[in-house]
Amino acid sequence: MSRFAAPIAEQIWDMKYRLKAQDGSAVDGTVEDTWRRIARAMAAVEKDSAHWEAKFYAALEDFKYLPAGRITAGAGTGRSVTLFNCFVMGTIPDNMGGIFDGLKEAALTMQQGGGIGYDFSTIRPRGAEVKGVAADASGPLSFMDVWDAMCRTIMSAGSRRGAMMATMRCDHPDIEQFIEAKKDPARLRMFNLSVLVTDPFMAAVKADGPWELVFENKVYKTVQARDLWNKIMRNTFDFAEPGVIFIDRINAMNNLSYCETIAATNPCGEQPLPPYGACLLGSINMAALIRNPFADDAALDLEALDDLVRTAVRMMDNVVDASRFPLPQQEAEAQAKRRIGLGVTGLADALLMIGARYGSEEAAALTETWMHAIARASYLASVDLAREKGAFPLFDAEKYLASGSLAHMDADVKDAIRQHGIRNALLTSIAPTGTISLYAGNVSSGIEPVFAYAYTRKVLQKDGSRTEEEVVDYAVRLWREKMGDAPLPDHFVNAQTLPPLDHVRMQAAAQKWVDSSISKTINCPEDISFEDFKEVYMAAWDQGCKGCTTYRPNDVTGSVLSVSEATDKTPSEAPASAQQDGEVIYLSEPLDRPAALEGATYKLKWPGSEHALYITVNDIIISGHRRPFEVFINSKNMEHFAWTVALTRMISAVFRRGGDISFVVEELKAVFDPRGGAWMEGKYIPSILAAIGGVIERHLIEIGFIEGEGMGLKTDPQAEVVAIGAPRGKTCSSCGGFDMRMVEGCMTCASCGYSKCG
């Protein structure tokens, strides 16, 4: 009998976590084989490996403990992959050589499957003097563009494309440009952005005082703190970025504040890390630990929780020794501190199963109690490991116990640490669990509320057809099994109806007993007022959160579910094979080429190339609008002949299809040449193909097809055509479905489990 509670769970396992040979044949015959593979790999570093393999298997069985995806997919495979999910890279030096050394390190890390975080505050601001070269600095955002281009080309282990987090201090002179970077929809698409907000800045915001923007003790500009805060809020309101990280609070509460300073986080923000720090993640499935769900005596099995947490901590500690690392600095950092991030998933389902409404004061109190139990068990398990295997190398009892996060820890736990040491410097973190929560039977994700009780998913079959299946939340499925057709009780709430401040209450309740941080998205209604939206962030600050991420669906960020609208009007002046939708002409079949076309030819001289490229774009007039119809690319350089002919034919074919073809520009501009790009007219261009894209973009602007640079579509609109009236959201780049959702700060596909952040 299958261990999977839902078809989607088995599909996620098969696609993401099941070990397969090079030819695609299955090595893991069943999910039990996957559990056995992981348990054996984690027990291999133990003296009594047989005993611990059995213990680890029991923890994994029936999805009670869920290691992060990297461990589940990579442990015991013999493949050269890291079992750590994410890294914060080294401090970026403020010089060209150091900056590009950092770029190389980032590429090597992402190649092995790690997401990365970077603090760009260390790079001098735009316009600052660069001594010795008689030039002004281009600023950190210009180098972020280079990182962004690199990330586009690096396909990490498995099928995951790398994710990146960029942070910048709120007092950096270029902070205003950083805040507004995502206004350009073509820029920094591979980055999540967060502002490092300090305690003095928040005090200045509340006092409506001045705020100095400073680099290396030089004041570049003075602004009103509240104006800068409002700029952060406005861009987050409109574009869902940047996020906010309360960096002074993070450092004050860090167990290792005596030996490290944190200035960046991993891509989803739940792991604030020092330079070369790594995040090792795993989650306790709270929904699997509820006794007698929906009964009057329903309760969390605290004894089972304690035992499971202790086993999970030992497994995660073993990963530090079993894993490979992209860089030796990352291995040294992990070995010196042995930090792990044990968290939870299925919390909202667990609350539903005992009758508590997510977001209520009762639910917040329960969350705090449960997280306290997890923290206590984690720290005591790590003390036991220290007695057996030794404390982490940088352990200093008095300094460690003086840290902010241990101030409210139980006295007996602190006494045990003082007497025996502790194996792992930090132990708890709540990570995004979008994919592993589906794998565990569609339990609620992390500490998020249930997103939707049920939805219809289209599944791609081997013959190319699509079937529909209902995907039901884990707790709702149990309710149906026990109660039949009885309506859901009033305490069942979901992310679409929950007030934003209830989200904050739950995040703050969990944060008290989490020594790292929490990945959580606070869903806000589209019609929330700007003042109420700002109050969400201020509440997060006032209630002790370490950061805040919101998502408000709108025309820019995309709606979770929306109804496509179409028109069947065909203007009399348009060709019979064309349909017009506003300003864009969509063709039901390609047009024949007229005898004559108007166009323009552009010369492109790529630095270092002997011969120039000549790019001709010809246009057709439809309904009074000038539209691109074909392109020709010519060069005397015979090395360019084959690819320029191929590019000519492919782009022309897309142009003749009609519609808004501006996505072609963005695809070309995103191409990164690993041999290096070039600086042209003061701007870094990542490849000659990107330069061609820029030329075509300039032509589209000149004929009025698009309004300006970066204003074209980012994806092919005709790839998203659905039946009139069908629900749709953003398109998944992995499966093409329309179920992309913001979950824990990361766009995640409910159909296939693909996540931008892994």
List residues with catalytic annotation.
266, 268, 270
Q: For residue 107, what are its two tokens?
A: 């590429």
Total Cβ atoms within 10 A of residue 690: 22
Q: Report CA-CA distances (Å) from 178 to 102, 121, 501.
A: 20, 10, 27
Cβ neighbours of residue 14 closer than 8 Å, sequence gap 6 or more: none
State the residue for tokens 């565990």. 440
CA gap 660, 630 in Å, rounded: 14
Q: Do residues 662 and 705 touch, judged by C-beta distance below 8 A?
A: yes
The terminus-to-terminus CA distance of the chain in angstroms comes to 30
Nearest to 318 by CA among 338, 342, 333, 304: 338
Taking the C-alpha atoms of residue 265 and residue 262, their distance in angstroms, rounded to an integer, is 8
| ω into 590 cis (within 30 of 0) | no
Output the CA angle 645-649-651, nearest 5 degrees: 115
Backbone angles phi, psi at 331, to 5 degrees: -65, -45
Q: Which two tokens stand for residue 310?
A: 């202790």
Tokens of 17: 């976590």
Cα angle 379-382-384, degrees, rounded to a multiple of 5: 115
Residue 245 contacts residue 546 (beta carbons within 8 Å): yes
> What b/e sequence results for 387-411 when a residue is b if at least 16 CB atoms lie within 10 Å of its CB, and e otherwise?
eebebbebbeeeebbebebbeebee
* Residue recorded with tokens 């401040």: 501
CB contact at 8 A, 92 and 77: no
**697 neighbors 665 (Cβ within 8 angstroms):** yes
